[in-house]
Structure 1
Amino acid sequence: MKEFSYQRPRQVREALAAVAGNDGARFLGGGTNLVDLMKDGIETPTRLVDVRRLPLDGVLEAPGGGLVVGATTTNSDLAAHPEVRRRYAALSQAVLAGASGQLRNMATVGGNLLQRTRCGYFTDLSQPCNKRSPGSGCSAIAGEHHNHAILGWSDHCVATHPSDMSVALAAFDAVVHYETLDGTHEIPLSEFYLPVGESPQRETALPPEALITAVTLPAAAANPQSRYRKVRERASYAFATVSVAAAMDVHEGIVQGVRIALGGLASRPWRAHVAEAALRDAPATADRFRAAAEAELRAARPLRDNAYKVTLASNLIEAVLTELAHPAV
């Protein structure tokens, strides 16, 4: 690991000033991703600015309803918060599915949003990777890609986004708040993650030197009938092969409202707008759920070894929606 300086500011403006004009500076939250990348030589910051002591912790009621989650709130505190569990249950479930208790106690909400892909070629300095070294190529396309993207990928990158939390946030139309030396800003999560395109190394729309300060969960998205389900290659804590975050309102057997986001299938959380449109005002039946899932997945472009994800995702969407339509008493 290369030598670096370390600062621990107590105010947001102090933290922003510490990274201003320094391309080698990085904000440090829990460090559960960044420190690993530093050990592997993927990240080589010259300065770490520890944000854990900034006044950005906690879950508060938002004006007009909803919740505001501070960026330094730990994943454990987010998952355990009673209002998150009551109004946005899929978010709590997603966080609990994402890592061990020890990691959740350290990891922060802001850091979770910015974690990098776990593609093996990204973390292997001996292999070409456009995310790590733009223009070098994507080793996964012709190599080991059984757990890579089937939606929204490009010839430049087929890696998937690793966050469970972000999938649930996508389903709930979360908004990311950030601050720069120019002031405060916000961006919908639907616009926060960029399409992979020709520049896979640029993963978010967050401006350089910006600091995430909070995430808002809108009141309109609150729904106690929500679920997060995750399929992974082992029962212990592993990244999603496919995951589904969904919320659904059913009245007299008809779908009145539905939200679906998918994980493990693309370079960013994938909001299933096609499936949602197919389900609104339709009967809440297994046949309709499967047809909606298949409609969403027609856009899939499987690689040589990951076509199984299409069937797996379809089955998982149907299972989650069926569970929401017929909750256990």
Structure 2
Amino acid sequence: MNNFQYIRTTSTKAAIDAVAKDPDARFIAGGTNLLDLMKRGIVSPEKLVDISRLPLNKIEREASGVRIGAMALNSEVAENAFIKEKFPLLAQALQAGASAQLRNMATVGGNILQRTRCHYFYDTSLPCNKREPGTGCGALEGNNHMHAIFGFSEKCIAVHPSDMCVALAALDATVLVSGPTGDRKIAFADFHRLPGDKPHVDTVLEKNELITAVTLPDSPFTKNVHYLKVRERASYAFALVSVAAGLQLENDTIQRACLAMGGVAHKPWRLASAEKALIGKKVTEATFRQAAEIAMQGAKSFEHNAYKLKLAPNAIVQALKTAAGIA
């Protein structure tokens, strides 16, 4: 790890100004991902601007939903009574995300911005277009059992690692950011990028912009929800496939649905076509299997992750069955 300058700011404007003045500066909050990247030599900022003391940690009810400050800890959001009551899918996803120790340090903003956990990205002796553009994607012909089946390119087949973000995608979140030129709102569906020709650019966030909050609109998905995470070991592992599922039911008929997947693409993967296919249908396993088939359209595997073409639709069906109470 290189030597770096460390400063602590007391206001959002001061933090943004400090990063804007130095092209090699980075914001740091909980540091659960950034410090790993620094230790491995993947990033080497010359200045760290500590934002952990900024007043951005409130979880506030709004007239039409909730506002979650970017500095709110994952554990605080997961255990918040209002979140558990009105947005249980988010609480479930956060509880599935990591160890209690990490949840007590990781922030909402940091979770959104965490980098891929691809081993080619983390091993600086191996080629990786995300880490070093133009060097190639080692996973294409290498060990790709954890990698994408949707939305990839020949430049990168890595997946986004967050559990929280899968729920935020399903629940139509909005990301609020501030920068030198002012504030803006970004629909969560548009926040993360697919790799294309620039896999090293993960999001549409500008370098000098700071996430200040996430908002969620009022949700009808307060009862029939489930976050399913399939992983290689029972605890503290990243998802092979995950599914965030929510249903609004009237008797046994589906009025609305939300559905998103993790572990399958470079960004949280919203299953909009499958959601539409569920509306007006009866709660049956056959209905859920039809939706899963629609969700898997366009999926493509590589040498070592073909199992995801079977695992993913089965996970969708199971998550929907559990949400509907027929599992």
Q: TM-score range by the shorter chain?
A: over 0.9
The correspondence of residues 143-292 of structure 1 with structure 2, limited to 5 A, is 143-220=142-219, 222-292=221-291
Distance in 1, Cα, partners of 2:265 & 2:254? 27
Cα drift, residue 326 of structure 1: 2.2
Give the aligned residue type for 2:36: D
Give the aligned residue type for 1:80: E
Q: What is the aligned partner in structure 2 of residue 7 from structure 1?
A: 7
Moved more, 123-132 or 219-228: 219-228
- For residues 132-158 of structure 1, give each alpha carbon's deviation from its aligned partner in whole angstroms, at most 9, with x where no partner exists: 001110000100001100011110000
Cα drift, residue 318 of structure 1: 0.6
Distance in 1, Cα, partners of 2:76 & 2:100? 11
Distance in 2, Cα, partners of 1:24 & 1:164? 29
Moved over 6 A (4+): none
Identity of aligned residues (%): 48
SS at match of 1:61: strand
Change (3 A) 1:181 1:209: same
Counterpart contact for 2:300–2:309, Cα < 8 Å: no
Q: What is the aligned partner in structure 1 of residue 57 from structure 2?
A: 57
Is 1:44 the counterpart of 2:44 in the alignment?
Answer: yes
Counterpart contact for 2:221–2:248, Cα < 8 Å: no
Distance in 2, Cα, partners of 1:102 & 1:9? 25
The correspondence of residues 67-106 of structure 1 with structure 2, limited to 5 A, is 67-106=66-105
- For residues 236-271 of structure 1, give each alpha carbon's deviation from its aligned partner in whole angstroms, at most 9, with x where no partner exists: 200000000111012132110000010000000000
Matched residue count:
327
SS at match of 1:159: coil
TM-score relative to the length of structure 1: 0.97
Distance in 1, Cα, partners of 2:6 & 2:317? 49
Q: What is the aligned partner in structure 2 of residue 140 from structure 1?
A: 139
Is 1:20 the counterpart of 2:8 in the alignment?
Answer: no
Change (3 A) 1:323 1:200: same
Distance in 2, Cα, partners of 1:222 & 1:283? 17
- For residues 207-253 of structure 1, give each alpha carbon's deviation from its aligned partner in whole angstroms, at most 9, with x where no partner exists: 12100000001114553322111000001200000000111012132
Distance in 2, Cα, partners of 1:326 & 1:47? 51
Distance in 1, Cα, partners of 2:53 & 2:186? 24
Cα drift, residue 291 of structure 1: 1.1
SS at match of 1:140: helix
Give the aligned residue type for 1:195: L
Counterpart contact for 1:33–1:116, Cα < 8 Å: yes
- For residues 254-309 of structure 1, give each alpha carbon's deviation from its aligned partner in whole angstroms, at most 9, with x where no partner exists: 11000001000000000001211111111221011011101110210111111111
Distance in 2, Cα, partners of 1:72 & 1:253? 40
SS at match of 1:157: coil
Give the aligned residue type for 2:308: K
Moved more, 181-190 or 215-224: 215-224
Give the aligned residue type for 1:151: F
CA RMSD of aligned residues (A): 1.1
TM-score relative to the length of structure 2: 0.98
SS at match of 2:119: coil
Distance in 2, Cα, partners of 1:327 & 1:84? 25
Moved more, 248-257 or 258-267: 248-257
Cα drift, residue 89 of structure 1: 0.8
Distance in 2, Cα, partners of 1:221 & 1:72? 26
